[in-house]
Amino acid sequence: MSGAQGKAAEIAHAVAIVAEVDKSRIDTRMEQGWIKKCAETPEESIRLAKESMERKEAMSIAYHGNIVDLLEYASAERIHIDLLSDQTSCHNVYNGGYCPVGITFEERTRLLQEDQTKFRKLVDETLVRHFNAIKGLVAEGTYFFDYGNAFMKSVFDAGVTEISKNGRDDKDGFIWPSYVEDIMGPMLFDYGYGPFRWVCLSGKHEDLKATDRAAMEAIDPERRYQDRDNYNWIRDAEKNQLVVGTEARILYQDAQGRIDIALKFNQLVREGKIGPVMIGRDHHDVSGTDSPFRETSNIKDGSNVTADMAVQCYAGNAARGMSLIALHNGGGTGIGKAINGGFGLVLDGSELVDDIIRSAISWDVMGGVARRNWARNEHSMETSIAFNKEKNGSDHITIPYLTDDEAVKRAVEKYVK
């Protein structure tokens, strides 16, 4: 449990149960107000959830225990769950990221130190039970999606070949969609929308409020439904009390949105209205990451298993003058499964930074849109065509030629023996 799920569920007016084996995590999130109630048994969790649903009130409930116990109970009792995912740290499944069922969190910590072989065996057995419980719930109508924590890959590695799409290996993905394939890719990344971030370096909350207002003014909520969601998000950010540490925000925006907002912030810094601001983004974005199990899982032209998008993003950002650049391995889905290119840019109010914003952010976002467009993702093609029109020759993305797949297949069969 990161706490984010409970908070997100309440913002979306849902009722959520989040399993967590480590009580200290639940206590922290309850103190922060990100989780409202805590239950000690699956029965109690479900009862509390049903009560909130009957009252039609948004609610975040932590279940102190193992997710497998909760799901097996729900499956046996035929409790309907609309939406289900997993956010245990499966990217690090054998080193403590995932707790075996049947032992407490404290026993898991001891076993991890004393007997790695037994620990591994228990993790694998738990993953198999976890898979079977989800399978039963999906058969009853639950929508399950992989959250990008390498859960399905871990289940596959634990010996469940049934979870692989081709029944053989992990090269064609898994039977349930990763949320990038089904949701984030087609609805957001393909247009260039991704998690733009900023930190108010003054540490002043007043500065954060001023940046919220500036970001809101830069969004036209009538343009697309994604813009309406983003507008509502930033409008309500203060009310939803999202800051637990640094005075920072995250806001989904496309390339132009990120540029407009960054320019506005830089202007506020120039006018002395706020202190300097550092902008950046999550690695889980349109362009910065190559990860076939997550960020690039909806790039279907075969290039999703290469690492060039992140490297080009990183190198272009370096050349264009970002303050900080990073190229690293493993973010999110784990070491060996992803390459990430990241950046940070300090807005100091200078005109030079205005120029960097225009050229580097465009590169940072549109490189990924271009790549998705070459894979013939519908919305990326639309976005690239619109980009070319707007740039009118100053920047240009090549557009793929569309062919009839069947005609290509027939030609290959005819001439290639």
Ligand X SMILES: NC(=O)c1ccc[n+]([C@@H]2O[C@H](COP(=O)([O-])OP(=O)(O)OC[C@H]3O[C@@H](n4cnc5c(N)ncnc54)[C@H](O)[C@@H]3O)[C@@H](O)[C@H]2O)c1
Least distance between ligand X and beta carbon 147 (Å): 5
Q: Hey, CA dihedral for 75, 78, 79, 82, is it positive or negative?
A: positive
Least distance between ligand X and beta carbon 107 (Å): 13
Backbone angles phi, psi at 176, to 5 degrees: -105, 145
Name the residue nearer to ligand X (CB basis): 7 or 91: 91
Name the residue nearer to ligand X (CB basis): 294 or 320: 294
Choose among 298, 280, 285, 367: nearest CA to 332.
285
In angstroms, what is the C-alpha Rg of the chain? 23
Least distance between ligand X and beta carbon 19 (Å): 4
Least distance between ligand X and beta carbon 148 (Å): 3
What residue ranges bind ligand X (CB under 6 A)? 1-2, 19-22, 25, 66-67, 87-91, 98-99, 147-149, 284, 332
Least distance between ligand X and beta carbon 25 (Å): 5
Least distance between ligand X and beta carbon 92 (Å): 7
| CA–CA distances in Å: residue 247 to residues 12, 232, 271, 275, 389 | 23, 19, 20, 12, 38
Separation between Cα atoms, residue 141 and residue 374, nearest integer Å: 35
Contacts of 81 (CB under 8 A, 6+ apart): 74, 137, 142
Name the residue nearer to ligand X (CB basis): 282 or 348: 282
Least distance between ligand X and beta carbon 316 (Å): 23
The 3-state DSSP class for residue 345 equals: strand
Q: Which residue has the tokens 């799901």?
A: 71
Name the residue nearer to ligand X (CB basis): 148 or 342: 148
Least distance between ligand X and beta carbon 60 (Å): 15
A 10 A CB-CB count for 222 gives 9
Contacts of 369 (CB under 8 A, 6+ apart): 190, 191, 192, 255, 286, 287, 380, 383, 384, 387, 397
Identify whether the C-beta of residue 212 lies closer than 8 Å to the C-beta of residue 218: no
Identify whether the C-beta of residue 188 lies closer than 8 Å to the C-beta of residue 226: yes
Choose among 27, 14, 86, 97: nearest CA to 57.
14
Name the residue nearer to ligand X (CB basis): 36 or 130: 130
**Amino acid code (one letter) for 278:** M
Name the residue nearer to ligand X (CB basis): 281 or 284: 284
A 10 A CB-CB count for 414 gives 8
A 10 A CB-CB count for 237 gives 21
Name the residue nearer to ligand X (CB basis): 329 or 403: 329
Name the residue nearer to ligand X (CB basis): 187 or 315: 187
Name the residue nearer to ligand X (CB basis): 67 or 216: 67
Least distance between ligand X and beta carbon 226 (Å): 17
